[in-house]
């Protein structure tokens, strides 16, 4: 039957979404990410499934598939959200203090919030899934590089790091060491590791003598 011109759908308008529905949708989205974060902390990657995420979040599987195409996509976003929340951008007025703060937070996150087998499985999946690889780079890697670059640029502007130092190489060294120890060496990300990273950065790029690189 043809429309009579009074129905807004006849004019191509989308149906209105009530504020209550929007709030419920937001709560469901957050519940799914929280459930995925909990599961990836508790279980190996292979043992996490959409059904388990849905059950933990108290939603149906179709609710998850409304926003994500796969288990890996949900877990990637959950990891990125966790890192953004648990590893904020510090501003302590000093490059060394900011770098130490950043490393302490991110190492604690890797040690306490993330299952190493789970993140290894997620990265393995990204090697053969181009969409997931892009999500990993955009949501997680670039997010962390943006935070670390800000810390480094402040160090240069304050005169604590030498002008012209290659910030990309420093970021690769710092994050590369984190991932290498986490995924391959299975080595602790402890205070000694953090202080060694700071000392190496200051020895190679700092404007102060290495012995004065890490003030209390």
Domain that residue 161 falls in: 72-211
> What is the pLDDT, as a whole number, of residue 76?
86
| Alpha-carbon gap, residue 71 to 49, rounded angstroms | 6
Q: Which residues contact 8 (CB under 8 A, 6 or more apart)?
A: none
Q: pTM for the complete prediction?
A: 0.77
> What is the pLDDT, as a whole number, of residue 19?
60
Q: What is the CATH number of the domain that holds 77?
A: 1.10.357.10
Integer CA distances (angstroms), 123 to 5, 34, 57, 92, in order: 53, 20, 24, 33
On whether residue 181 sits in a domain, the answer given is yes
Q: Which residues contact 11 (CB under 8 A, 6 or more apart)?
A: none
On whether residue 58 sits in a domain, the answer given is no
On whether residue 182 sits in a domain, the answer given is yes
Taking 70 as the pLDDT cut, the residues of the chain under it are: 1-21, 115, 209-216
Integer CA distances (angstroms), 124 to 45, 48, 137, in order: 10, 15, 14
> What is the pLDDT, as a whole number, of residue 20?
67
On whether residue 174 sits in a domain, the answer given is yes
On whether residue 130 sits in a domain, the answer given is yes
On whether residue 59 sits in a domain, the answer given is no
> What is the pLDDT, as a whole number, of residue 209?
55
Q: Total structural domains in the chain?
A: 1
On whether residue 1 sits in a domain, the answer given is no
On whether residue 60 sits in a domain, the answer given is no
> What is the pLDDT, as a whole number, of residue 192?
96
> What is the pLDDT, as a whole number, of residue 34?
94
């Amino acid at each position: 039957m043809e429309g009579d011109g009074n129905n807004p759908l006849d004019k191509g308008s989308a149906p209105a979404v009530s504020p209550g529905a929007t709030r419920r949708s937001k709560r469901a989205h957050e519940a799914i990410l929280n459930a995925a974060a909990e599961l990836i902390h508790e279980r190996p990657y292979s043992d996490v499934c959409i059904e388990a995420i849905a059950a933990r979040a108290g939603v149906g599987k179709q609710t998850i598939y409304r926003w994500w195409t796969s288990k890996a996509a949900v877990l990637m976003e959950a990891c990125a959200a966790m890192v953004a929340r648990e590893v904020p951008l510090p501003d302590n007025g000093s490059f060394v203090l900011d770098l130490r703060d950043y490393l302490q937070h991110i190492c604690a996150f890797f040690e306490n919030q993330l299952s190493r087998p789970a993140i290894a499985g997620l990265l393995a999946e990204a090697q053969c899934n181009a969409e997931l690889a892009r999500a990993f780079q955009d949501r997680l890697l670039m997010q962390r590089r943006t935070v670390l670059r800000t810390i480094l640029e402040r160090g240069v502007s304050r005169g604590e790091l030498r002008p012209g130092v290659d910030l990309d190489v420093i970021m690769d060294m710092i994050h590369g060491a984190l991932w290498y120890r986490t995924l391959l060496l299975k080595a602790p990300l402890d205070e000694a590791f953090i202080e060694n990273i700071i000392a190496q950065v200051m020895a190679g790029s700092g404007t102060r003598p290495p012995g004065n690189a890490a003030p209390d």
